[in-house]
């Protein structure tokens, strides 16, 4: 950028096959800012707006409102193709024209030019424009939207609440302390993490997961135990979703940033995007499975007789969350989300479907090991008009929930949905995190041209529902935070037996009984069992097993070998029992009945294991 007394040019001859069409080959501008500009691969709307802002800022600093945009390909070796570059320069011209007197030298021509540059300190400047972050319009709107907050009880009564001087007034929260903490968190709208959540220490100590300094923040590494837990959760949820009637598919993880339908949705969803530059496109990593499932539904031939149509994917997703919001397994930039969309004929069918999925979510979380009433709080977000029209349905949801819920109401709709509910876990720092969610989407069927054929052969738009039982990592976070709470209450923390990486640890009292321990371990079928063959003392081996939250710790010595019965410490009940192998097998099989099973993905003998953390 050169602050100039004048610049004048003459177009000599075309430099490309299809140069910009021009009427005049010469032009001149005085007292102006000459902007020598090159357009690089994957430059788009965000770069145009940022460049225009920077140019206008410098115009103010040097005291001019006149700009000459001059194509100057020599600034970069990563140039955009000719068609894209021409379009971007035209967009830059139009953007600057809103506030300045602007001219543009012809694109695609060899030109001679003369310029006289002023000599002050700001007369010669350069800038490289890159969009620092991709932020949807929905994120901006979310910060500005005015919300009205209520508590809805199981009888349908609505209590207006507000936060004053750090306290919530308008409802008696006696017996609903976590609901109060959830309301305070939501009303504050602050997602910043100022104190490390307790589960972060636990996920490391239990060798489940850890931060990876060689990656982007919020992309965790999962040790073998963590990978096993994740795989079991993924399998259980997928099994339940298929039983519910969802059709599993797989779609791409990255999409064209400039795709018309996709771009509309980007700006309607409050999430920050990861942007990837391919050799010929600007792409974004998906933050949900919506994009692939919507494009799939657009191409499908669907009859009203087939509705509701349910599409499901265990989707790896990416959101460029702000660094101060990232916290262990609670809020990540890379996560795994079971995502299910249902296409429904109308709101009546959609409401029936939401009740069905509400019950599916309950079944899933109870199977995982959660107590719905104790572990979660229900949040509902709704537009005022939808609430007034469908108040009975919302009250039905709360009644099905079985305790009061938080309701956020908007006067006007900005987002693509008119109703959204969330099951939230309130952690030990009084931060809330949504697991299960479902939504009524009233925009994307039209945006993506998704149709079904009605009885008369006409094309109609479905109501789209967005359902997820919860990101896998966030389920793990909730389980760990709950166990930390149990620790504070003096209870023994443990994962549900079906999720415990090691379900039974056999501890021989000496090396003499190692072979016997292996024989005992081989008798257990579909049980994850390991053996502590270390040189530690018996008491240290037991303490180590307890620190690893092993549900069943079996000590093996001469007495046990002779009797065929093990001396078993049952962690959940804090008791020691004498158990025959058949009884131990039956007990674990009953506890894990109906749950998926995976083999232990670590060596059976502890002496063969590496230490991943600590």
Strand partners, 8: 28, 114
Q: How far apart are CA 269 and CA 611, in angstroms?
A: 42
Last residue of a domain, one of 132, 158, 179: 132
Beta strands in 309-431 (DSSP E): 309-318, 334-344, 377-383, 405-410, 417-426
Residue 136 pLDDT: 57
Q: Enter the tokens of residue 159.
A: 């209590």
Q: Residue 512: inside a domain, yes or no? A: yes
Report the DSSP pairing between strands 377-383 and 417-426: antiparallel
Last residue of a domain, one of 415, 449, 481: 481
Same domain (yes/no): 153, 111:
no
- Residue closest to 88 by CA, chosen among 53, 130, 42, 134: 42
Helices (H) and strands (E) in the chain, counts: 18, 30
Residue 501 burial (10 A CB sphere; 0-12, 13-18, 19+): buried
Residue 97 pLDDT: 96
Q: Residue 272: inside a domain, yes or no? A: no
Dihedral over Cα of 297, 302, 308, 313: its sign: negative
| C-alpha 607 chain-centroid distance | 38
Same domain (yes/no): 350, 459:
yes
Q: Residue 276: inside a domain, yes or no? A: no
Beta strands in 108-227 (DSSP E): 109-117, 134-135, 147-152, 158-164, 167-169, 209-210, 221-222
Per the document, the length of the chain is: 614
Same domain (yes/no): 7, 110:
yes
The CATH number for 567's domain is: 3.40.50.800
The CATH number for 84's domain is: 3.50.80.10
Same domain (yes/no): 66, 127:
yes
Q: Residue 271: inside a domain, yes or no? A: no
Residue 414 pLDDT: 80
Residue 133 pLDDT: 53
- Residue closest to 284 by CA, chosen among 320, 251, 257, 321: 257
Q: Residue 452: inside a domain, yes or no? A: yes
Q: Residue 604: inside a domain, yes or no? A: yes
Same domain (yes/no): 111, 162:
no
Q: How far apart are CA 224 and CA 439, in angstroms?
A: 35
Same domain (yes/no): 68, 202:
no
Same domain (yes/no): 112, 233:
no
Same domain (yes/no): 388, 513:
no
Same domain (yes/no): 188, 306:
yes
On whether the CB atoms of residues 292 and 262 are closer than 8 A, the answer is: no
Q: Residue 78: inside a domain, yes or no? A: yes
Residue 267 pLDDT: 67
Q: Which residue range forms the structural domain that includes residue 101?
A: 2-132
Same domain (yes/no): 514, 461:
no
Same domain (yes/no): 117, 153:
no
Residue 131 pLDDT: 63
Last residue of a domain, one of 449, 481, 513: 481
Residues of the chain with pLDDT under 70: 131-145, 191, 267-271
Angle made by CA atoms 4, 68, 14, in degrees to the nearest 5 = 120
User: Residue for token digits 């039983």?
Assistant: 243
DSSP state, 325?
G
Residue 311 pLDDT: 98
Q: Residue 184: inside a domain, yes or no? A: yes
How many domains does the chain fold into?
3
Residue 206 pLDDT: 97
The CATH number for 220's domain is: 3.30.930.10
Same domain (yes/no): 117, 184:
no
């Amino acid at each position: 950028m050169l602050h100039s007394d004048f610049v004048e040019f003459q177009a000599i001859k075309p430099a490309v096959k299809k140069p910009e069409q021009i009427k005049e080959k010469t032009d001149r501008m005085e007292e102006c800012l000459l902007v020598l500009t090159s357009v690089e691969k994957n430059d788009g709307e965000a770069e145009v707006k940022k460049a225009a802002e920077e140019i206008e800022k410098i115009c103010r600093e040097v005291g001019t409102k006149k700009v000459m945009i001059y194509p100057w390909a020599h600034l970069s070796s990563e140039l955009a193709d000719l068609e894209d570059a021409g379009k971007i320069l035209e967009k830059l011209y139009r953007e600057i024209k809103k506030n300045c007197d602007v001219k543009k030298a012809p694109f695609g021509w060899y030109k001679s030019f003369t310029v006289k540059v002023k000599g002050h300190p700001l007369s010669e400047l350069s800038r490289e424009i890159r969009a620092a972050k991709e932020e949807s319009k929905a994120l901006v709107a979310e910060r500005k939207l005015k919300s009205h907050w209520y508590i809805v009880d199981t009888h349908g009564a609505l209590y207006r609440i507000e936060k004053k001087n750090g306290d919530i007034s308008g409802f008696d929260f006696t017996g609903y302390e976590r609901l109060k903490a959830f309301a305070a968190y939501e009303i504050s709208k602050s997602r910043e993490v100022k104190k490390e959540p307790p589960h972060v220490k636990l996920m490391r100590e239990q060798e489940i997961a850890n931060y990876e300094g060689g990656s982007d923040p919020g992309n965790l590494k999962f040790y073998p135990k963590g990978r096993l837990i994740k795989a079991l959760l993924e399998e259980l949820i997928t099994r339940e979703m298929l039983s519910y009637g969802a059709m599993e598919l797989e779609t791409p993880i990255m999409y064209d940033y400039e795709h018309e339908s996709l771009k509309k949705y980007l700006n309607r969803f409050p999430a920050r995007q990861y942007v990837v530059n391919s050799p010929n496109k600007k792409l974004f990593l998906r933050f949900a499975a919506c994009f692939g499932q919507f494009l799939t539904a657009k191409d499908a031939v669907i009859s009203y007789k087939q509705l509701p149509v349910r599409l499901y994917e265990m989707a790896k997703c990416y959101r460029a969350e702000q660094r101060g919001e990232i916290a262990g397994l609670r809020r990540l930039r890379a996560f795994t989300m079971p995502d299910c969309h249902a296409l429904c004929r109308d709101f009546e069918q959609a409401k029936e479907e939401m009740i069905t999925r509400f019950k599916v979510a309950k079944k899933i979380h109870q199977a995982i090991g959660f107590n719905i009433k104790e572990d979660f709080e229900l949040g509902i977000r709704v537009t005022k008009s939808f609430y007034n029209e469908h108040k009975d349905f919302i009250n039905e949801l709360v009644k099905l929930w079985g305790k009061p819920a938080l309701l956020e109401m908007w006067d006007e709709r900005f987002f693509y949905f008119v109703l959204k509910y969330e099951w939230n876990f309130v952690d030990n720092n009084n931060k809330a995190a949504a697991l299960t969610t479902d939504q009524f989407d009233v925009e994307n069927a039209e945006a993506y041209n998704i149709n079904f054929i009605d009885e008369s052969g006409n094309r109609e738009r479905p109501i789209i529902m967005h359902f997820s039982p919860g990101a896998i990592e966030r389920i793990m976070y909730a389980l760990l935070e709950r166990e930390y709470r149990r620790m504070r209450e003096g209870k023994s923390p443990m994962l549900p037996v079906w999720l415990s990486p090691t379900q039974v640890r056999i501890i021989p009292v000496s090396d003499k009984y190692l072979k016997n321990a292996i024989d005992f371990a081989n008798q257990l079928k579909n049980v994850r069992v390991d053996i502590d063959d270390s040189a530690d003392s018996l008491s240290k081996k037991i303490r180590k097993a307890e620190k690893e939250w092993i549900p069943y710790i079996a000590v093996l010595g001469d007495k046990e070998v002779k009797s065929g019965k093990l001396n078993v410490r049952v962690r959940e009940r804090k008791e020691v029992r004498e158990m025959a192998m058949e009884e131990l097998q039956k007990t674990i099989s009953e506890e894990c009945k109906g749950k998926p099973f995976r083999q232990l993905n670590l060596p059976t003998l502890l002496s063969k294991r590496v230490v991943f953390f600590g």
